[in-house]
Structure 1
Amino acid sequence: MPDPIRHIVFDIGKVLIHYDPNLPYSRIIPDAAERHWFFDNVCTHDWNLEQDRGRSWSEAEAEAIARFPEREEQIRAFRRNWREMAPYAYEDSVALMTGLIEAGRDVTMLTNFAADTFREARAMYPFLNLPRGVTVSGEVGLLKPDVAIYQRHAADFDLDPAACVFIDDVAVNVEGAREAGWQAVQFLGAEKLRADLRDLGVVV
């Protein structure tokens, strides 16, 4: 039998708040094929992930501009328009999380997020200040699904890994948590999460 859950750890992007770089870039690069090429070759997922690891935006922009100098304005637009990429919260997920906190559950967050944009997100979405604490990849220099970031989170917040459940929309991040000895579920919507938590003995 798995250990009873005593610690509930939430991811943030696409679990609590929406994130989509296409939102501002549909205006910045209206042609869909060109926009697709831009994200595949210039401001790629891996390029953006390095900011989540702790690279500064100035370094990131310089690196991309060196590769594509003719795209300078479009590259700089990524950070400049970040708020448009995170336009709303998933209210049903937020209600679930705040309900857990109000019920006295130990709730923390673990996220791949650039340090500066996370500060903005906290200002935009005050509920991100309600959990007991958060590990932000850009602040600690580690990324999910590296087992080390889960170990760091557990150590920093005095969590028993076997008594943790981690909630993330990305399957490899769920697997990373399991490799660290945590229980974990993939987020597929608030109602499914509610059922998954109930199956683990956490009634919301």
Structure 2
Amino acid sequence: MKDIVFDFGGVLVDWNPRYLYRKIFATSEEMEWFLAQVCTGEWNARQDAGRPFAQAVAELQEKYPKYATQIADYYARWDEMLGGEIKGTHAIVDELKARGYKLYGLTNWSAESFPLAQQRYPVLQQMDGIVVSGQEKLIKPDPEIYKRLLERFALRAENCIFTDDNVTNCAAARTLGFDSIAFENAEQLRAQLQQRGVL
């Protein structure tokens, strides 16, 4: 029986900093500039890789003092970036569990904020094991974080189906022997799992 490995953000959970910053900035133009130039995806990824929030905020506030408050809000109000669950994927998780599949999480997520998400979303509590990048200080698509998942839970890559909304992460998994699905939406994932005889 296959083991199913899920990415979380963009697959099971809807996370988007715009949910917060639409409340903070008067115009979408300023918000988009701020997210592209100040609190960037690359900056956030370093927290996903293990950098502490306090250090990240302090360094950025020194560089952009005009936006000190808005930078602090990135983590002080982090929970306001969480939307709901991705439509339809919780039902897939429920069906897989009912069929007896083992389910695992491999997520790029800060160690400091992940416990809040895990508490908020019951779907994350259904995993049989989770590897969080911020806890490991490794981040997808580094092959080592995939290997850590395999070693920790005694899995074989060739027996795993991995889904992630990031095609680079999917490609990295594929090079290690995972069967990899680039997630688009729940209907597409369901169809892919049905093709594989899983659902």
TM bucket (normalised to shorter chain) is over 0.9
2:39 matches 1:43: yes
- TM-superposed CA distance for 1:90, in Å, is 2.1
Runs of at least 4 residues off by over 2 Å? none
Normalising by the residue count of structure 2, what TM-score does the alignment of the two structures yield?
0.97
| Aligned AA (1:154) | L
1:199 maps to what in 2?
195
| Aligned AA (1:193) | L
| Aligned AA (1:172) | T
Normalising by the residue count of structure 1, what TM-score does the alignment of the two structures yield?
0.94
What is the SS of the residue equivalent to 1:184?
Answer: strand
| Structure with more strand by fraction | 2
- TM-superposed CA distance for 1:35, in Å, is 1.2
- Give the length in aligned residue pairs: 199
| Structure 1: runs of 5+ lacking an equivalent | none
Which residue, out of 61, 65, 89, partners 1:93?
89
Which residue, out of 83, 86, 109, partners 1:113?
109
Deviations 1:56-79 (A, max 9, x none): 100000110111112110100111
Q: Percent identity?
A: 37
1:68 maps to what in 2?
64
What is the SS of the residue equivalent to 1:115?
Answer: coil
Task: Give the distance between the partners of 1:200 and 1:91, measured in 2 at CA.
Answer: 22
- TM-superposed CA distance for 1:23, in Å, is 1.1
Conservation of the 8 A alpha-carbon contact between 1:9 and 1:164 = yes
Conservation of the 8 A alpha-carbon contact between 1:101 and 1:131 = no
- TM-superposed CA distance for 1:201, in Å, is 2.1
| Aligned AA (1:42) | V
2:128 maps to what in 1?
132
- TM-superposed CA distance for 1:31, in Å, is 1.5
Task: Give the distance between the partners of 2:87 and 2:100, measured in 1 at CA.
Answer: 20
| Aligned AA (2:93) | M
- Across the aligned residues of Structure 1 and Structure 2, the Cα RMSD in angstroms comes to 1.1
Which residue, out of 155, 158, 162, partners 1:162?
158
- TM-superposed CA distance for 1:91, in Å, is 4.4
| Structure 2: runs of 5+ lacking an equivalent | none
